[in-house]
Structure 1
Amino acid sequence: MTSAAGEHSKEAAGAEGSKQPALPALHSANPPRVCTIAGSDSGGGAGIQADLKTIQALGGYGLSVITALTAQNTTGVQAVHAPPPEFVRSQLASVHSDIRIDAWKIGMLANKEIIQVLSEDLGKYRKGKGKLAALVLDPVMVSTSGSLLLTHDSIHHLISGMLPLCDVLTPNLPEARQLLAHARNRPVRDDSATATSPTQKTKESGDDLESSLDTLKSLLSAAKELSDLGPKATLVKGGHHVMHNSEVNASLLELGGGLVLAPESQNQLYTGAQSSGQRYRGQLSGTAEPDELCVVRTDGSPWSEVLSAWYASGSSMSTASHDVDSVIVDVLYEKVGVNGGPRYTLFVKPHVQSTATHGTGCTLSSAIATFLSSGLTIELAVSNGISYVQASIARGLDSLGQGAGPLNHACTITPRGVLPPVRHADSLPSDRTPLCAALIANNISDWNLFVQHPFVEKLSCNELSKENFVWFLRQDYLFLLHYSRVWASGASSAAAARTFDDVALFAGMAASMATEAKTHTKICAAWGITEEDLQRRTKESAATLAYTRYVLDVSRSGDALELLCATGPCMLGYAEVGLRLRRLRKRTSVDENFPENAQAFGEWIDTYADEGFQKVARKSIEAMEDRAAADCPSPERMKQLQNIWNAAVRLEIGMWDEAIDATLRREIVDAPRN
């Protein structure tokens, strides 16, 4: 995968017709780019506003070409202004010439002239070599109130110019009726035979189209007939016609009596919205060559009689059955399904009782385009898109204004406790290690007291007494012994070490502590402390006991990230102190009365300033950052990690407090006798 910086280069210019890299991943540093070509909704619930919110929420990068400006709010559309067609062309050329587009979403097209410009230019773009960007067309032409938003002539141009270009067509029932009527040369007209304002109502023809799309059979026929006009696939949305569960079950028996339960898809996305359900497969009966029929049902969710009973009557227990009786059915027809032949997929979903439905069509088509941009099949893109819309309606903003509220496009977005790392060569250090930077910043006073402790300051100018330093060296030896056990405990913990990489990391850190202990023993010898003294005559103090047992407890009960946060202050803090002391000592003169102190202090400082320990500390911190990036902590989880970090910092301070102040020392655990 190329970097985000590399994508923004000459290689990306006019990229749809050139050799394309693999499609990037959603929610990545190099997200797929989805361009919405649609009208603006000043109320923010539909149009490009809904499109861009959806694309962002699902992990893509949104671009826009504005085809109309509307004055509207939750109560309706008050006015429409269409920009000059050449300005629409200029917008399209600007984004396409510089930025690779992975998917197009087309919504409201204000007039015939704009439709002609877009069909010409998009047609040229899609004739180039290489993988085509998916194109999803939401044929916005009938407002929620029933107003016809396009002239009949414009609808004809939409059918002839745009439908052959699109991969997925997503009409609702009124739009499907209009498209079918115009394709049959029997347009649904009003008395003036034209529609030019957003307040003009449609009239039905003598074919009684109002009742022609009220059965599953008619929806299947409509989806196929619309795909015959050019689209690779058509999704006829049934939201305008609520059906009864029993009616759907009877129709399914008639359409495909041989339906059998199918296994779950292995490619579902975990967006937060439920994207899977019971799947059935069979053959559509009553046709010359039976087409494949798939049924995806989420109307039985949560798939538990107990859960349904619990919440059937609000928060109180209910013994009544809570089967969903009112359902919506969306019908997807693909000319070439996943198995190579024509395929119908019926999405049977519960009817969400909500008035927050403004912008539903815009949101769904944008969601489908975004999922297609990441490489999903049409069926999976539609399935995940429907699930996202269902969740957004259920959590919609129904009290935003006086009319129908918009969907809650942010319903699947989880607040982060910490941002992901940025690994560009020129990124700031705080962006490379955001977790550590946050942990330090959130407790900066204790951190500074730790790394600039009087113990450290006295070391820097050779003023630390021998008695204080020897006390610390003895306790630090015990600390290193327990710390190696901490890492070993992490390596053997099922909670902390879930992979071989985890085991190798923690076991390697334990080995590093053993190597550090050998260096520590040499330094102790220079101060007259034998290994026998360290092992047999050193009692463990209260500060050492508190610190090591705390971290041992985290290693046994916590996961890998918690263990790394508990050990992080020691690893990072000593690396910090080592570098700082080496820098300060270069400016400090050696006390002529105690030159041996300076040499011994220098050996200890070199242990933590040298590249060997710096690499070990960096490995530990990078492991912590990598785990946080792979499984981003929630704000609540971040609070827990912060508490662990804070405790470890304060316990570090406690050990150095004890070293320089004899009145704080309490020897607790006797040394082993044999």
Structure 2
Amino acid sequence: MTNTQNTKNILSIAGSDPSGGAGIQADLKSIAATGGYGMAAISALTAQNTRGVRSVHVPPAGFLTEQLNAVSEDIAIDAIKIGMLANAEVINELGQWLAGIRSAGTGAPAVVLDPVMVATSGDRLLDAESDAALRRLFCHTDVITPNIPELAVLARAEMATDWETAVVQARGLAAEYGVMVLAKGGHLESASCRDGLIDSDGVILSVASPRQYTPNTHGTGCSLSAALATCYARTGDWGSALLNAKSWLAGAISRADELSVGSGHGPINHFASLWDGVRPAHPGDPMAQWWQKIAAIRTGIDELDFIRALKDGSLAREHFEDYLGQDALYLRTYSQVMSRASALAPDTESQRFWAASASSCLEEELALHRGRLAERVPEPSTTTTAYLNHLKASANNYPVLIAAILPCFWIYQDTGSRLAAANRQDHPYADWLTSYSSVEFDAATAAAIDITRTVHQGADESTRTAMWRAFEASSLHELAFFDQTAAPATSRDSSAGEPVAAG
């Protein structure tokens, strides 16, 4: 059965967490928060809270199959997230069911598997028979999402202590089992956080952001894998899915401390953005609030090796040209997207602004890039393609589209102002830095902000939420875009130290 509707149905197969922070409960919240309809088949029942797991009850494996059959015989499933599987019998039953539904070919759901294998204490949660069964299950999945200790177990190696080693382990795992691996830097010592989608050929896409320091990260791994499955079902692209899932997760973690749940490691705030729409409106300028919300992303851009080297002029020319090549490709579609905004704009002034911006994008900025590249324009990277797909996905909704467009103005203007402050006559990239910090570009950025503010003020709460999500996602795409040419530092995500979860 194929779901032809816009709403995507996501099935979570995992254990329960009665405290609500991890497992099935976290999955259903994550699926809803990222735009899916959540369903659940429970593989295990736990007695746990924010301080830890007390006991686990595993229902008969056949009952899991009954749940799965009941759902799949009636409801189209667009993606599946798999979490805690307690023993070999359960895993084997699930494998048989997956083999059946995925053999249908067209319309078969994507599968994301979060291998819950290692406790926070470092103890192994699966015996040898269950470990072997879990590895057999990989042939029925698209992406596995181990943390660093789980990755080491699966790779039969010592636990990685740096990002480069984690990538090597993930790449080997991808080659051995024919899956993609989402490597997560959750147990690496670094002030930044990096997750990477990896196949047998190497890194498809990696996303880095500053670490958020909070003890309330219970269920982060469960939530990320469920969000990844949901975002893929909605976009059909794994790179876009990772960026969107990470963007949402960063917001949920950043506002975890607003909750008051338990005395241990509390949960993330899955519905923070949604609740903004039902609480009294915040006073002040909504655009200023947006800008403040992406402060961590902006800081992450400033701290990138690429930006630092560009600022002091030490950036290798090949890295600079790689970046410009991708930027040239980006600008082609960005110009088309602004032309689309002009066609949708409700007033003449806005129509003229977007049309003029589209023309400027082609005539001035793209000409500069091509001049530097001597007409050598590469194929679009996965990062570039993901960003452009995000923009094109908004092309039929004017408020959402201009919110998605805005970060390319605002973040470039903000970053460019600091780069220009370090500019000098002998800087190897002086003309390029000047083009992104000019009176004209400052004025265009201010106009784009004003137009978006006006549309936001006249929108209903649902549209305002959609606008914010588009703006936030584009901001994260900007971070990834700047980070795609220079080697990143090692990193760590925010899931370190979370208690044993059920999903």
The verdict on a shared fold, with TM-score over 0.5 as the criterion, is yes
1:124 is aligned with what amino acid? G
The aligned counterpart of 1:178 is 153
Which stretch shows the higher mean deviation, 98-107 or 148-157?
Answer: 148-157
* Aligned counterparts of 1:633 and 1:87: Cα–Cα separation in 2: 40
2:273–2:465 Cα contact (<8 Å) kept = no
Shift, 1:107, TM fit: 0.2
The aligned counterpart of 2:463 is 631
Structure 2: segments with no counterpart, 5+ residues: 280-345, 355-452, 467-503
* Aligned counterparts of 1:152 and 1:124: Cα–Cα separation in 2: 26
The aligned counterpart of 1:142 is 118
Aligned residue pairs: how many?
304
* Aligned counterparts of 1:106 and 1:379: Cα–Cα separation in 2: 20
Q: Please, which of 78, 93, 97 is the counterpart of residue 54 of structure 2? A: 78
* Aligned counterparts of 2:455 and 2:194: Cα–Cα separation in 1: 45
1:329 is aligned with what amino acid? R
1:74–1:404 Cα contact (<8 Å) kept = yes
2:21–2:219 Cα contact (<8 Å) kept = yes
Q: Does 1:352 pair with 2:217?
A: no
Secondary structure in 1 matching 2:89: helix
The one-character-per-residue Cα deviations of 1:524-570 (angstroms, maximum 9, x if unpaired) are xxxxxxxxxxxxxxxxxxxxxxxxxxxxxxxxxx979999xxxxxxx
Using a 3 Å threshold, how does the CA distance of structure 1 residues 367 and 562 change in structure 2: closer, same or farther?
A: closer
Q: Please, which of 221, 229, 233 is the counterpart of residue 373 of structure 1? A: 233
* Aligned counterparts of 2:455 and 2:152: Cα–Cα separation in 1: 58
Q: Does 1:220 pair with 2:167?
A: yes
Secondary structure in 2 matching 1:400: coil
1:40-59 equivalent positions in 2, closer than 5 A: 40-59=16-35
The aligned counterpart of 2:143 is 168
Shift, 1:375, TM fit: 2.6
1:163 is aligned with what amino acid? F
Identical aligned pairs, as a percentage? 38
Structure 1: segments with no counterpart, 5+ residues: 1-14, 25-29, 182-206, 244-325, 336-340, 419-490, 500-557, 564-626, 635-674
* Aligned counterparts of 1:229 and 1:120: Cα–Cα separation in 2: 21
* Aligned counterparts of 1:42 and 1:21: Cα–Cα separation in 2: 31
The one-character-per-residue Cα deviations of 1:448-470 (angstroms, maximum 9, x if unpaired) are xxxxxxxxxxxxxxxxxxxxxxx
Using a 3 Å threshold, how does the CA distance of structure 1 residues 560 and 172 change in structure 2: closer, same or farther?
A: closer
2:17–2:46 Cα contact (<8 Å) kept = yes
2:167–2:203 Cα contact (<8 Å) kept = no
The aligned counterpart of 1:363 is 223
* Aligned counterparts of 1:143 and 1:123: Cα–Cα separation in 2: 29
The aligned counterpart of 1:403 is 264
Using a 3 Å threshold, how does the CA distance of structure 1 residues 415 and 347 change in structure 2: closer, same or farther?
A: closer
* Aligned counterparts of 2:181 and 2:104: Cα–Cα separation in 1: 24
* Aligned counterparts of 2:195 and 2:89: Cα–Cα separation in 1: 32
Using a 3 Å threshold, how does the CA distance of structure 1 residues 560 and 234 change in structure 2: closer, same or farther?
A: closer
Secondary structure in 1 matching 2:274: coil
Shift, 1:348, TM fit: 2.2
Q: Please, which of 68, 71, 77 is the counterpart of residue 101 of structure 1? A: 77
* Aligned counterparts of 2:242 and 2:57: Cα–Cα separation in 1: 32
Secondary structure in 2 matching 1:229: helix
1:417–1:633 Cα contact (<8 Å) kept = no
The aligned counterpart of 2:198 is 333
1:168–1:231 Cα contact (<8 Å) kept = no
Secondary structure in 1 matching 2:227: helix
Q: Which has the larger radius of gyration?
A: 1
The one-character-per-residue Cα deviations of 1:605-632 (angstroms, maximum 9, x if unpaired) are xxxxxxxxxxxxxxxxxxxxxx759836
* Aligned counterparts of 1:403 and 1:176: Cα–Cα separation in 2: 26
Using a 3 Å threshold, how does the CA distance of structure 1 residues 496 and 234 change in structure 2: closer, same or farther?
A: closer
Shift, 1:179, TM fit: 1.3
Shift, 1:153, TM fit: 1.4
1:43–1:73 Cα contact (<8 Å) kept = yes
Using a 3 Å threshold, how does the CA distance of structure 1 residues 560 and 60 change in structure 2: closer, same or farther?
A: closer
Using a 3 Å threshold, how does the CA distance of structure 1 residues 402 and 417 change in structure 2: closer, same or farther?
A: closer
Shift, 1:35, TM fit: 0.2
Q: Please, which of 226, 233, 236 is the counterpart of residue 180 of structure 2? A: 233
Q: Does 1:156 pair with 2:132?
A: yes
2:175 is aligned with what amino acid? D
Using a 3 Å threshold, how does the CA distance of structure 1 residues 360 and 562 change in structure 2: closer, same or farther?
A: closer
- Higher helix content, 1 or 2: 2
* Aligned counterparts of 1:345 and 1:80: Cα–Cα separation in 2: 36
- For normalisation by structure 1, the TM-score amounts to 0.42
1:496–1:559 Cα contact (<8 Å) kept = no
* Aligned counterparts of 1:363 and 1:69: Cα–Cα separation in 2: 18
The aligned counterpart of 1:382 is 242
Secondary structure in 1 matching 2:48: strand
